[in-house]
Amino acid sequence: MSEGTIHKILVAIPVHYPNSKIFFKDSSLLSEIEYLQKFYNLPKKPSGRIRRSGPSFTSKVKDMQSFFGLNATGVLDSETLEVMRSPRCGVPDVEEYSNAQGTRWNKNIITYRYLLYTRDLPRSTVDFLLETAFRVWARASSLTFVRMHSHNADIMVEFVTSDHGDLYPFDGPRGTLAHAFGPGLGVGGDTHFDDDERWTTGKTGFNLHVVAAHEFGHALGLKHSRNPESLMYPTYKGHSNYLSRYNWSSHPWLSGSLFPQLMQKKCAPDLTFDAVTTIGEATFFFRKRYFDNFHSKEITHMFNLIQYILPLIESIFWTVKGSFAKGKPRSLSHFGFPASVQDIDAAVHIVKTGRTLFFIQDNYWSYNENRRVMDFGYPKNISEGFPGVNATINAAVYKEGLIYFFVGPQVYKYDYTHKHVVGVEKANSWLGC
């Protein structure tokens, strides 16, 4: 991950929750005590009794007032009580509750998965709002977010109620809206929303996009901000200034100057790609200086600059394992290519044979991954090795016995076992067009 601003954004305190009731329902002393125990590390007494006039209580009230920019008197005045009664994030405001989890992810590609949905909105709407929340952090950092549809992911997202298995139960309507764990193994990154709340797309109820963007900040290692205008401010106010920057009548990433014109025309009949590859369940499409990722034909727009994950594309290559690049880039000659080979049109790995095929103009090469040598007798002519494919190949992907050859705006489905083309489709069909 790059240094500078991006580094500063993601170096933060991880999240941890004390094992206590979350928030409160009335203005009783017990509720105020629980609030300070939950969010400001007010010590618990063995007897369960804490005096309102006690030094610990007064000190924590001052801490809370100071955090929210109130007059730090230590007295529960009306302004202080109003803040305490405001709907908010379930993550503490003080650093004492940071745990042993890492302060940031040690990789550039973060996976996420949706487990349980809210009953308030259609699934497609929830997907849209959560994807735009991830986009906030994709644009503010060098991170790429990849959705998983099975297996564990770095960030597991679910809508739950009351006790839901993590020792930090929700409290019903209002009060605590959601919480998230900081980066790390196990529950690290997991994000939970209270499904007793009324989740919406606008300024009524609780705007899911705003709350999700806040919680995903915690999932990346960020702590709460004292700035009321910040997305990471702990209490929910609708973030009107933040919301006003978005046009909910259209997809913001398909308009204006946020993303390149080439992606605004993703359904153009002449759309072509420079490269296509898979990482986990995601398929990455590269064109010029940009890339995007999709899952089958379900779009999860995460347009980004290639330099965010690979700083330079020349006659060298990077090794990617799991979700991050390993080691330093190496020359293409590592594979046994002659010095005259300075670039590759396409490459695809065939799982059943253990070979990686490289396509260069009219020819292709076969590399034995087990022996780590180029197979004898190569290069060979593409049209001879792959009957029916008679053009320069832009990209190739192997899935379930088929090689998908991207040739200009078309994709040839090639049966690798029986050695013939079984179908032709438009390249943009892979983008849901």
Query: With left for phi above 0 and alpha for psi between -120 and 50, is residue 424 left, alpha or beta?
Result: beta
- pLDDT confidence of residue 237: 75
Residue 427 confidence (pLDDT) above 80: yes
At residue 74, the pLDDT reads 93
* Phi, psi angle pair for 406, to nearest 5°: -90, 110
Q: Percent of the chain having pLDDT more than 90?
A: 37
Q: Which of 405, 408, 145 is nearest to 294 (CA)?
A: 145
Q: Which of 96-110, 289-303, 320-334, 335-349 has the lowest mean pLDDT?
A: 289-303
Per-residue pLDDT, 99:
42
Q: How confident is the model at residue 317 (pLDDT cuts 50, 70, 90)?
A: low
Q: What is the tens place of the pLDDT at every residue in 360-418?
A: 999 999 999 999 899 999 999 999 999 999 888 999 999 888 999 999 999 999 999 89
* pLDDT for 26: 36
How is residue 248 written in tokens?
Answer: 């909910």
Over the stretch 203-234, which tens digit does the pLDDT of each residue have?
789 999 999 999 999 999 889 989 888 888 99
How does residue 254 score in pLDDT terms, banded at 50, 70 and 90? very low
If you average pLDDT over residues 58-78, what whole number do you get?
A: 94
What number is the average pLDDT over the span 30-46?
A: 83
CATH topology of domain 109-243: Collagenase (Catalytic Domain) (3.40.390)
C-alpha–C-alpha distance, residues 140 and 220, integer Å? 12
Whether 120 and 153 have beta carbons less than 8 Å apart is answered as: no
pLDDT at 193: 97
Q: Is residue 298 a contact partner of residue 148, using CB atoms and an 8 Å limit?
A: no
Q: Where are the domains of the chain?
A: 109-243, 261-431
Annotated binding residues for Ca(2+), written as ranges, equal 120, 154, 171-172, 188, 190, 194-195, 197, 274, 347
Instruction: State residue 280's pLDDT score.
Output: 59
Nearest to 94 by CA among 71, 61, 70, 51: 61
The CA distance from 218 to 91, in Å, is 8
Tell which residue, 77, 79, 76, 57, has the closest CA to residue 68. 79
Is 80 exceeded by the pLDDT of residue 5? no
- CATH assignment of 261-431, among 1.10.760.10, 3.40.50.150, 2.110.10.10, 2.40.70.10: 2.110.10.10
pLDDT band, very low/low/confident/very high, at 189 (cuts 50, 70, 90): very high
Q: Is 369 a catalytic residue?
A: no
Beta carbons of 89 and 234 less than 8 angstroms apart: yes
Q: Which of 32, 34, 131, 215 is catalytic?
A: 215
Whether residue 379 is preceded by a cis peptide bond, meaning omega within 30 degrees of 0, is yes
pLDDT at 346 over 70: yes
Q: Is residue 310 a contact partner of residue 318, using CB atoms and an 8 Å limit? A: yes
Asked if residue 63 has pLDDT above 90, the reply is: yes
Instruction: Give me the percent of the chain exceeding a pLDDT of 70.
Output: 71
Phi and psi, residue 249, nearest 5°:
-85, -10
**Least confident span in 1-10, 130-139, 170-179:** 1-10
